[in-house]
Amino acid sequence: MNKDSQYLAIIDLGSNSVRLKIDQIKLDGSYQTERYEKRYVRLSSNMGPEKILQPEPIKRTLKALTEFRQICNQYKHLKILAVATAAVRQAKNQTEFLQEVKKKTGFVIHVISGEQEAYLDYIGVSRTLALKDGVILDTGGASMEIILVKDGQAEEVVSIPLGSVLISQRYDLGDRISAPDLFNAIVKVDQVLSKELWLNRIRHGEIVALGGCNRALAKVYRWQQAVNSSRVAPVHGLTMTPDEAYGIMQQLLSSSKSERAKIRGVNKERADVIIGGLLPLMSIIRQQQIQQIQFSNSGLREGLLFRYLEHETSLENLFTL
C-alpha cells in the first residue's frame, strides 16, 4: 500500500449487508481495488410496518462501521463516500440512527433516493457490460431497483420498497417453505411488478441481475457448471437460461435453511432470505418471457466510483443524478 497515493473509500450501507470498497485512484484516471470488506448486519430485520430500525441490527451495524473506520484510518489521502439505501431511507428513526453513526464512527452517511440508487446501478452495469436493450434488476434486502435500457440509455428507473428480507420475513420463507406461504409471496411480487407496465417493452429480451441473492444464484450455477475448482467462471458477465434458473430455484425450494446453506454458492448468512430474494427475478422472467439472464458484479458502488471519477472536484455532483 502506497501511503502517498490517492484513495477513495466507498461505504454502501444496505438493508442486508454493509460493504467497504477502497480503490487507489491513479494519475491517469484509472483505478485499482485495494480492499473489499463485507459484513452481514441485516439492518432491515424486523422493521415491521412501523419502519423502525431495531436495537440489535443497529448494534451490529455500528460494530461493522467501527471496524471499517479502523481500516480507513490506515490510509493517507483517503476520501470517504458513504451512502445508505432502502432500510435507512424508509426508517422513521433515520435521523437518530445517522447521528449515532456519526458520533460512534465519524462517518457522515448520505441517504440516497431509490431513483438515485437505480441510476447508479445503471452506471455501474452499463460501464462494465454490453447491454443495448433490456432491463437491470437489483434486488436488495428492503427494495428492488429496476432500470429499462433502450439503445444503451436508461429510459425508466424505479425503486420498489420490497426486497429479500422483507419478502422472506413477511411470508415465512426462511426455512422449510410451505405451498400457501410461497403462493402468497409469488402473488404479492407478481402484483407489484405487473403495475410497471413499461416492463412489457422488454418482452422476450435480456435481464441483467445484481444484488446478493441474484448473485448467489449465479454462484450456484457456476459451481454446478465448473469442470474443477480451479476453473470456475466469474459471476460478472455470466449468463444462464430461464430453465437453468428454474432448476436451481426448485433445488432451493425443496431444501431447508440448513440444507440451502450447504449448497455451494449460497452463503449461510443468506440462506434464509434467498428464496424471497429470487422471487422478483423469477417473476420478471416468467411474465416477460425473458430469453437470457446475465449477472453483474458491478452496481451501486461502481456507479459511485465512476461518477466520482467524472466529477472529482465536487462530491455534491454525485448526488445530482
Please give the Cα distance from 18 to 223 (Å, whole number): 26
Q: Take residue 251 and report the three cell numbers written for it.
A: 433445488
In a domain, 321, yes or no: no
pTM for the model:
0.91
> Picking from 33-37, 45-49, 117-121, 136-140, which range would have the lowest pLDDT averaged per residue?
45-49
Q: In what order do the strands lie in the sheet with 153-160?
A: 153-160, 144-150, 134-139, 206-210, 292-295, 239-240
pLDDT score recorded for residue 4: 57
Q: Which residue has the cell 449460497?
A: 266
**Parallel, antiparallel, or unpaired: how do β-strands 17-25 and 6-13 relate?**
antiparallel
Quickly state the pLDDT bin for 230 (edges 50, 70, 90): confident
Number of domains in the chain: 2
Q: What is the mean pLDDT of residues 184-188?
A: 98
pLDDT score recorded for residue 227: 77
In a domain, 66, yes or no: yes
The torsion angle over the Cα atoms of residues 234, 69, 300 and 209, rounded to 10 degrees, is: 40
Question: Sign of the CA dihedral 57, 58, 60, 65?
Answer: positive
pLDDT score recorded for residue 26: 87
In a domain, 303, yes or no: no
Residues 92, 180 within the same domain: no
Residues 270, 139 within the same domain: yes
Residues 157, 289 within the same domain: yes
CATH of the domain at 189: 3.30.420.150
Axis-axis angle for helices 274-288, 242-253 (nearest 10): 150
Residues 133, 272 within the same domain: yes
Please count the other Cβ atoms lying within 10 Å of the Cβ belonging to residue 130: 8
Residues 45, 185 within the same domain: no
In a domain, 18, yes or no: yes
pLDDT score recorded for residue 127: 94
In a domain, 320, yes or no: no
Q: Give the range of the structural domain holding residue 159, as residue numbers without chain letter.
A: 128-295
pLDDT score recorded for residue 319: 52
Q: What is the mean pLDDT of residues 218-234?
A: 88
Q: Take residue 132 and report the three cell numbers written for it.
A: 443495448
In a domain, 313, yes or no: no
Domain end among 67, 83, 111: 111
Q: Is 50 exceeded by the pLDDT of residue 313?
A: no
In a domain, 305, yes or no: no
pLDDT score recorded for residue 318: 55
Which residues on adjacent β-strands are paired with residue 84?
13, 111
Residues 271, 191 within the same domain: yes
pLDDT score recorded for residue 257: 97
Residues 77, 145 within the same domain: no
CATH of the domain at 83: 3.30.420.40
Which residue in 60, 33, 56, 35 sits closest to 46, CA to CA?
A: 56
Q: Is 50 exceeded by the pLDDT of residue 320?
A: no
Which residue in 246, 147, 265, 275 sits closest to 206, CA to CA?
A: 147
Residues 106, 243 within the same domain: no
Domain end among 65, 86, 111: 111
Residues 105, 205 within the same domain: no
Which residue in 68, 78, 218 sits closest to 137, CA to CA?
A: 218
Residues 11, 106 within the same domain: yes
Domain end among 52, 78, 111: 111
The H or E element spanning position 189 is helix 179-194
In a domain, 119, yes or no: no
Residues 98, 195 within the same domain: no
Residues 96, 134 within the same domain: no
